[in-house]
């Protein structure tokens, strides 16, 4: 799915590639009920080997896994190293070029997407705004329904995702960190290997018709054991979006371009439950409107846009 801009932005971004999402204006929501959700802590175990294995899968040990005391999130250590970032398959787009070597310091990555139950802890503490709306794509009551406690939180702006990660003592991952955690150190097009997305490795192709419980697709694990990096929901990352950034990106710990001025676009990664093999590739780059700090905090644009198809996960510097 490609991003559909009003005429002005279509003209300005004609050479850029990205991804469309259905958006809603960011407003301060009134809770329907007070959430009592609590996170489900502990490592999500998986026993199914990805369909195509390019490199041996690492063993999860006490040295490379920890539990966040703030929200119960399992975090996996992504070791320092160099990987190939960018488009490497026949479905690549211009904003994925050139493919280039990137060297990253070690970092911690959330094993799954932040859930409704986890996000509710931050909202109850007064450190996070409530989701813009409480529905998912097909559920009128989603965020505030205990049945979906362990499903990814959606209707969250970049501003809200960033606030949550800061509250937990973490941060949003950079675009490069996200791709390394998804791809590993080989040239695989999907987190699990080379097989196209299907009902065993990802919530994609609109098979489920909405989000699913985080960690439900063991066969979709990345080389580092990170889950749901393709499908379920798009994920906010820290970087501003520029379609030409890879032409000038630093080779060591890139942080993304400066604000391009084009409506403060922020990168989203991973594809959603509605998307197909094109959008779920580890190199595919999407974007959505992030916060505009030049307007008053009473305006929706101050926080940016949200969607039933966008969530997030956090990272942390060791």
- Which residues form the domain of 246? 1-318
In this structure, what are the phi and psi dihedrals at residue 316, rounded to the nearest 5 degrees?
-155, 140
Query: pLDDT confidence of 130, banded at 50, 70, 90?
Result: very high
pLDDT computed for residue 6 by the predictor: 33
Q: Residue 110's domain is classified under what CATH number?
A: 3.90.1580.10
pTM score of the predicted model:
0.83
Query: pLDDT confidence of 55, banded at 50, 70, 90?
Result: low
User: Are the C-beta atoms of residues 29 and 303 closer than 8 Å to each other?
Assistant: no
Q: How many CB atoms lie within 10 A of CB 200?
A: 14
pLDDT computed for residue 82 by the predictor: 98
Our count of domains for the chain comes to 1
User: Are the C-beta atoms of residues 55 and 224 closer than 8 Å to each other?
Assistant: no
**Tell me: the pLDDT tens digits for 182-193?**
999 999 999 999
pLDDT computed for residue 204 by the predictor: 98
pLDDT computed for residue 51 by the predictor: 36
55: left (phi over 0), alpha (psi -120 to 50) or beta: beta
**Tell me: the pLDDT tens digits for 77-122?**
999 999 999 999 999 999 999 999 999 999 999 999 999 999 999 9
pLDDT exceeds 60 at position 273: yes
pLDDT exceeds 80 at position 154: yes
């Amino acid at each position: 799915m490609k991003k559909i801009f009003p005429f002005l932005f279509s003209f300005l971004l004609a050479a850029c590639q990205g991804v469309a999402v259905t958006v809603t204006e960011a407003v301060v929501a009134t809770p329907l009920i007070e959430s009592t959700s609590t996170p489900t802590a502990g490592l999500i175990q998986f026993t199914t080997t990805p369909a195509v294995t390019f490199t041996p899968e690492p063993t999860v040990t006490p040295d490379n896994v920890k539990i966040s005391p703030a929200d119960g999130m399992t975090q996996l250590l992504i070791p320092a190293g160099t990987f190939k970032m960018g488009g490497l398959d026949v479905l690549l787009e211009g904003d994925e070029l050139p493919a280039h070597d990137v060297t990253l310091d070690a970092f911690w990555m959330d094993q799954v997407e932040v859930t409704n139950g986890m996000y509710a802890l931050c909202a109850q503490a007064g450190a996070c705004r409530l989701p813009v709306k409480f529905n998912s794509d097909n559920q009128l009551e989603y965020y505030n329904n205990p049945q979906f406690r362990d499903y990814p939180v959606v209707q969250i702006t970049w501003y809200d995702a960033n606030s949550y990660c800061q509250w937990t003592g973490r941060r949003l991952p950079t675009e490069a960190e996200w791709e390394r955690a998804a791809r590993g150190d080989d040239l695989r097009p999907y987190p699990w290997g080379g097989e196209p997305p299907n009902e065993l490795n990802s919530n994609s192709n609109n098979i489920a018709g909405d989000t699913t419980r985080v960690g439900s697709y063991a066969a979709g694990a990345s080389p580092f054991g990170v889950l749901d990096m393709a499908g379920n929901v798009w994920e906010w990352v820290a970087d501003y979006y520029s379609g030409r950034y890879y032409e000038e990106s630093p080779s060591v710990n890139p942080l993304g371009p400066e604000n391009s001025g084009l409506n403060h676009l922020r990168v989203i990664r991973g594809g959603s439950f509605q998307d197909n093999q094109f959008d779920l590739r580890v190199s595919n780059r999407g974007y959505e409107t992030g916060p505009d700090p030049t307007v008053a905090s009473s305006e929706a644009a101050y926080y940016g846009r949200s969607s039933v198809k966008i969530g997030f996960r956090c990272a942390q510097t060791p």
